[in-house]
Structure 1
Amino acid sequence: MSDLLSLSSIAPRSWQGFAALALLAGAFLLWPLVDVTPGYDVTTGVLIFFLLLLAIQFDHFPPVARAIFLFIGAHGAAWLLLAGITGNEGSARASFYLMLAAAWLLAWRCVTVLSALRPTSRWAATALRLIIPAIFGAWILIIWEAVTRGAGIPFILLPPPSAIGVRIANSLPVLAADVRQTIFKAVIFGYVVGSGAGFLAAIAADRVPFLRRGLLPIGNMVSALPIIGVAPIMVMWFGFDWQSKAAVVIIMTFFPMLVNTVAGLAASGHMERDLMRTYASSYWQTLFKLRLPAAAPFIFNALKINSTLALIGAIVAEFFGTPVVGMGFRISTEVGRMNIDMVWAEIAVAALAGSVFYGVVALFERAVTFWHPSVRGG
């Protein structure tokens, strides 16, 4: 009976732990990890096993300590696996992938434990909201790196994240010039003008009924226009510099703002509007004190949508003619030169810039619409 109790005290408490233990046993039976000699030395292999087993064993500890040891074990083992496969590309055996899968399962368990935590302090809750998606994103990169190097996928087809990171570090001046041309000139100008014009048009459509009946159907039609058809025309009209790309961005951001603002202006309740009428409020007083605050979530929803549409529109427009600088120009040029790592570097920078842009708008939304139930509950 005591033997059974001792076994239950060291057995994993989650299905991820049981699965990781089974994968470790399979990896041990299929050792070595690579087909080449020298591959992983015995010390490295033992250390990887030790880290993973330690993480499984600490699944019995309190939640915070459990999450810490799961994090250290999973990511320490993953780092050793990636360090060993570098230079031995294309030689990974099944045992390598089994150990990688075991580490991934423990990282999954770590995220599960972290998600169940209920921190009392505000900074801890904020840190937790950042750590969980960071672990998820890190494992996308870890698996990408391990598969491309372990399977020996040619870099021209899919470079590993480490090669893309090296390319970014070595091309910072070029990337900075591309960001300045595409984002700080075309995207921001087109975003501000397109969103602002859409907002003003929505106010006019709300004020004048026949404009609403005419603009919204046209807006739905124009929003369905293919960007690859509009971009060459804008280049012909406004030239090869950033102005033509800004024109594409204006077209793409105008109608989402128009449609969302019109819908938001109709979101205020009938009782609130009747109350404003009893106070003899004018149209503009009702607009600024009731209807625009009620429409704020719709307006910010359009701003967040436009933050991604603007970047996509500017990059695609640069495929159809631009000076020798710009993110879209660089992508199209480097694809022709087979410099795929530079293409991925531009994609990574564009994704980062788009995420930052979206995040800034979302933070501004929380500051402005703090009173809204969706913000108070989030």
Structure 2
Amino acid sequence: MRSATRMPGWLAGLIGAAVLIAAWWLLSVTAFTPAEGTTFTPVPTPWAVLETLWNDGLAPYWSVFQVTIGEALTGYVWGNAIALLLASTVLLLPRLEPVIMQVAVVSYCLPVVAVGGLAIVILGGAKRPGDLSATAIFLAALAVFFTTVVGALLGFKAADRATLDVVRVYGGSRFTQLRKVRLIAAAPAILNALQIAVPSAFLGAILGEYMGAIDRGVGITLIKLQGDLDSTRVWAVFLLSAVVALIGYGIVGLISRLVTPWVSGRTTGTVSA
């Protein structure tokens, strides 16, 4: 007999981050060294990026990120709300499931460039300086729709059949089954889908800013920095974007652990050698 232990999530995260940083540094000092006679490099070292962030301070970056975070959060709420509503409708009207699934699949397969081009024509960008971009909000909502629809449907179908039969025997309707059985059974899958949707919403908002008329945001800032060949600050914005997405992912994950403690619990057992 031998003890079977699982690596803690925080340790796995630290190891993964260390590997990524090491690979980043290795590429910057080997494959992407500055050309002879110049100081420009497309891949600066991690230390150069951190030094730039330290010298600049977070204030100028926050004024950029707060717009994109607002767009991502708004799109996240709308996209997930519509996805959960449609998934719930399928349970009440099962014949609609093929239609809803086709809509979800089509939304996932649509080319973002084409959809973004149509969105900017129909919805436009920010109406006034400092406003959120309607196109960015739409693409953020579209980015989370498929994941949440599929996750919710799979979760709803995970409900115990015997428990559903008990509710039916006592005169419960499909809505009662949904409220008292299916939602509880589906909570882990729904929360997992909502957690995965966080980085997708942030990415969708950034892509929308690339296409939408907006004066401030991560997307337009990256365009300006790329035009100035300021690779160090491009990577700084990229690093901060990863941190913001990771924080959002962690917050939803923490909520998931609090709401579904029976899933997040860890036990240590023994297995045969």
Using the size of structure 2 for normalisation, the TM-score is: 0.83
Residue aligning to 2:201: 310
Residues of 2 paired with 1:117 and 1:368: CA distance? 27
Matches of 1:215 and 1:274, distance apart in 2:
26
Aligned equivalents of 2:97, 2:12: Cα separation in 1:
44
1:8-63, CA deviations, whole angstroms, 9 ceiling, x for partnerless residues?
Answer: xxxxxxxxxxxxxxxxxxxxxxxxxxxxxxxxxxxxxxxxxxxxxxxxxxxxxxxx
Aligned residue for 2:262, secondary structure, equals coil
Task: Give the conservation status (yes or no) of the 8 Å contact 1:164–1:344.
Answer: yes
- How far 1:208 moved relative to its partner? 1.5
CA spacing shift, 1:140–1:117, aligned 2, 3 Å: farther
Partner of 2:89: 204
Counterpart CA distance in 1 for 2:98 and 2:136 is: 30
Match of 2:219 among 328, 334, 337: 328
Partner of 1:182: 68
The reply on whether 1:292 has 2:183 as its aligned counterpart is yes
Secondary structure, in 3 states, of the residue corresponding to 2:41?
A: coil
Matches of 1:328 and 1:152, distance apart in 2: 24
Letter in 1 for 2:42: L
Stretch deviating more after TM superposition (218-227 or 355-364): 218-227
- Structure 2 residue aligned with 1:32: none
Offset, 1:160: 0.6
Where is the helix percentage greater, Structure 1 or Structure 2?
1
Deviation for aligned residue 1:143: 5.8
Question: Distance in 1 between the 2:32 and 2:212 partners?
Answer: 36
The alignment covers a number of residue pairs equal to 253
Using the TM superposition, give the Cα deviation of residue 255 of structure 1 relative to its aligned residue in structure 2, in angstroms.
Answer: 2.8
Structure 1 Cα separation of the partners of residues 9 and 95 of structure 2: 47
Match of 1:222, as an amino acid? S
Runs of at least 5 residues in structure 2 that lack an aligned partner in the other structure: 35-39, 127-132, 268-273
Calculate the aligned-residue CA RMSD, in Å. 2.5
| Residues in 2 aligned to 1:302 and 1:189: alpha-carbon distance in whole angstroms | 17
Corresponding residue of 1:356: 247
What is the CA deviation profile of residues 64-88 of structure 1, one whole-angstrom value per residue up to 9, with x for unaligned ones?
A: xxxxxxxxxxxxxxxxxxxxxxxxx
Secondary structure of 2:219's counterpart equals: helix
Contact map agreement 2:91 2:178 (CA 8 A) in 1: no
Aligned equivalents of 1:366 and 1:191: distance in 2?
A: 20
Structure 1's 152 and 238: CA in aligned 2 closer, same or farther, altered over 3 A?
closer
Question: What corresponds to 1:28 in structure 2?
Answer: none
Cα distance in 2 for partners of 1:151, 1:243 equals 40
CA contact (8 A) 1:156 1:338 kept: no
Question: Which of 262, 265, 270 is 1:376 aligned to?
Answer: 265
Q: 1:249 aligns with which of 133, 140, 143?
A: 140
Equivalents in 2 of 1:143, 1:215: separation in Å?
42
The amino acid that maps onto 1:195 is N
Separation in 2, partners of 1:143, 1:252: 29
* Consecutive unaligned residues in structure 1, runs of 5 or more: 1-115, 119-124
Matches within 5 A, 1:32-47: none
Which one has more relative contact order, counting CA pairs under 8 Å at least 6 apart?
2
Q: How many percent of aligned residue pairs carry the same amino acid?
A: 27
User: What amino acid is the match of 1:263?
Assistant: L
Match for residue 148 of structure 1?
A: 28
Aligned to 2:77: 192
Number of the residue aligned with 2:52: 167
Q: Which amino acid aligns with 2:221?
A: R
Map 1:124-135 onto structure 2 (within 5 A).
129-131=9-11, 133-135=13-15
Q: Does 1:272 align with 2:163?
A: yes
1:277 & 1:286 partners in 2: Cα distance? 8
Task: Go from structure 1 to structure 2 and tell me whether the alpha carbon gap of 1:143 and 1:212 turns closer, same or farther (over 3 Å shift).
Answer: closer
TM-score by length of 1: 0.61
Matches of 2:23 and 2:98 in 1, distance apart? 52
1:266-301 superposed Cα distances (whole Å, 9 cap, x missing partner): 111221211222222232222121111111122112
Equivalents in 1 of 2:105, 2:9: separation in Å?
Answer: 37
How far apart in 2 are the matches of 1:298 and 1:150? 43
> How big is the shift at 1:370?
1.1
Structure of greater Rg: 1
